[in-house]
Amino acid sequence: MSNTTIEKPYKKTSMGSGGKKVILITYPNPFVEEEAKGLVEAAGYRLVDTITQKKLSHQQYGIGTGKAAEVRDLVEEKKTQMVIIDERLSSSQAHNLAKFTHQEVIDRERLILDIFNSRATTTEAKLQVKLAELKYEIPRAREAVRISLKGEQAGFMGMGEYAVDIKFRALKKQMALVQKKLEDARRRRQLFITSRTRLNIPFVSLAGYTSSGKTTLFNRFVSETKEESPSLFTTLTTTTRGFEPLEGKKVLLSDTVGFISRLPTYMVEAFKSTLEELSYADLILLMIDTSEPTESIQIKFQSSRQVLEQLHINPVKLLVVLNKIDLVPRDQLQEKLSLFRDLQTISISAKTGEGTKKLRVLICERVFDLHGESQVIDTAVKASPSIDSAV
Ligand SMILES: Nc1nc2c(ncn2[C@@H]2O[C@H](COP(=O)(O)OP(=O)(O)OP(=O)(O)O)[C@@H](O)[C@H]2O)c(=O)[nH]1
Ligand SMILES: [Mg+2]
């Protein structure tokens, strides 16, 4: 095979503290801006300045030409190393802006992939990230070829059509291989599902936006020490443990990967086998961070509902857990509670333990009947594949 490599404007980025100095370009909306900053931080970059613009889908650079000139000056003044645009960019937009500003340019999806990359620890999580990455790269590489054939050479330095063809076939082959490995892992999970179904133990899953406190509650309930952190996407691996909410009432409790707004479908697809855990749950504890402003709560709740819909999850299985009430004044809590009028809710603090006794009772009420038998709603596909299963 040719050893020519595709030179991408979206190179894999370096992680960790002391990372690159970056400029962030995002939308003029406090929620969106905060979240984008959280992503930049989670990826280990040093945010030097933030620029906002209403439209990030201008044809040439994503941002408008006037803004691009502003960015170019800022880059020079602040001696930054990278520009991050909080939107999806095409190969040519990223290439044009990189060329114009003399900076490495990455988009929101590449940023999320970089965080995923740094967090993936298990083989399956790594495969899922790889699949998402290939799904991200293939269409962009294709576009880069089109530009290069027009003589613009967007990243295909010196590659002839034949070499490009080989490169594509290699990427496709790699994708097929990753998909096959993931399919094998999925099949193994199915075997666990069958054995777990035989045990007839209800399966309870924690779901919700990243940083809502899923792992904190999980650790409290099952006496674990999994990493909890204000950083986004701390958990990328599903862990399941046996848990007795009340004496003699055993369930399986699972902690999963968090959601984020504007998560592209192909990323949800790539993480399907992890997220699929949720479709086997008899009860889903949908965690909400109530310490946030009402608008953020609404957006995050909607995003979470959308992901659950994409996974064809029956809303009947939801129990909305309003977390972090230790940070919320009582009068504000009432107002926030009213956002979920049509759903069953419970207010807790995973950190202080407030409300968690009541939550234990509610869990039992939802998954056991009065005689102590499990009363799962959907017994056809029930329980998660494995105890301690990695993604
Ligand atoms: N004050 C307060 N902080 C909390 C509470 N629950 C969680 N936190 C904090 O919120 C941050 C995020 O908590 P995690 O448990 O890591 O959140 P997560 O939902 O697992 O996040 P991801 O793994 O990124 O999806 C951590 O800094 C926790 O200490 C709570 O009830 N009160
Ligand atoms: Mg977590």
Q: Are residues 81 and 202 in the same domain?
A: no
Q: Are residues 305 and 208 in the same domain?
A: yes
Of 119, 144, 172, the residue at which a domain comes to its end is 119
pLDDT at 257: 84
The closest alpha carbon to 253, from 241, 236, 235, 238, belongs to 241
Residue 273 backbone phi and psi in degrees, to 5 = -65, -30
> Domain total for the chain?
2
Q: Are residues 222 and 88 in the same domain?
A: no
Q: Are residues 233 and 88 in the same domain?
A: no
Mean pLDDT per 10-residue segment, the chain (391 residues): 33 53 96 94 94 95 96 96 95 92 94 89 87 89 70 52 75 93 85 78 93 96 88 82 94 90 82 79 95 93 89 92 96 89 92 97 88 44 31 23
Could you give the count of Cα atoms lying within 13 Å of 228 in the half-sphere of its Cβ? 14
**Cβ distance 260 to 268 under 8 Å?**
no
Strand partners, 246: 249
pLDDT at 18: 54
Q: Is residue 246 part of a domain?
A: yes
**Cβ distance 376 to 382 under 8 Å?**
yes
Tokens of 337: 């509670």
Q: How far is the CA of 213 from the centre of ligand 2 (A)?
A: 7
Indicate the top mutation candidate among 121, 211, 307, 349 to test ligand 1's pocket, ranked by most ligand atoms within 8 A of CB.
211
For ligand 1, whether the C-beta of 323 sits within 6 Å is yes
In angstroms and rounded to an integer, the radius of gyration of the C-alpha atoms of the chain is 23
User: What range defines the domain where residue 101 resides?
Assistant: 21-119
For ligand 1, whether the C-beta of 228 sits within 6 Å is yes
Q: From CA 37, how far away is CA 19, in angstroms rounded?
A: 14
Tokens of 117: 């990359």
Q: What is the CATH number of the domain that holds 210?
A: 3.40.50.300
pTM for this entry: 0.83
Crossing angle of helices 214-222 and 356-367, rounded to 10° = 80
Q: Are residues 113 and 247 in the same domain?
A: no
Q: How far is the CA of 391 from the centre of ligand 2 (A)?
A: 13
Q: Is residue 378 part of a domain?
A: no
Q: Are residues 91 and 193 in the same domain?
A: no
Residue 72 backbone phi and psi in degrees, to 5 = -60, -40
Q: What is the CATH number of the domain that holds 44?
A: 3.40.50.11060
Q: Is residue 165 part of a domain?
A: no
For ligand 1, whether the C-beta of 324 sits within 6 Å is yes
Q: Are residues 325 and 207 in the same domain?
A: yes
Q: Is residue 75 part of a domain?
A: yes
Q: Pairing relation of β-strands 249-255 and 239-246?
A: antiparallel
**Cβ distance 153 to 146 under 8 Å?**
no
Q: Is residue 237 part of a domain?
A: yes
Atom number in ligand 1 closest to CA 232: 24
Q: Are residues 192 and 337 in the same domain?
A: yes
Q: How far is the CA of 229 from the centre of ligand 1 (A)?
A: 6
Question: What is the DSSP code (8-state) at residue 11?
Answer: P
Local structure of 280: helix, strand or coil: helix
**Cβ distance 216 to 350 under 8 Å?**
yes
State how far the alpha carbon of 70 is from the alpha carbons of 74, 76, 93, in Å: 6, 10, 17
For ligand 1, whether the C-beta of 351 sits within 6 Å is yes
pLDDT at 152: 53
Q: Are residues 75 and 205 in the same domain?
A: no
Tokens of 271: 């993480």
Q: Is residue 126 part of a domain?
A: no
Of 77, 92, 119, the residue at which a domain comes to its end is 119
Q: Is residue 154 part of a domain?
A: no
Tokens of 158: 């010196």
For ligand 1, whether the C-beta of 290 sits within 6 Å is no
Q: Are residues 245 and 329 in the same domain?
A: yes
Q: Are residues 110 and 225 in the same domain?
A: no
pLDDT at 140: 82
Q: Are residues 111 and 199 in the same domain?
A: no
pLDDT at 147: 66
Q: How far is the CA of 111 from the centre of ligand 2 (A)?
A: 19
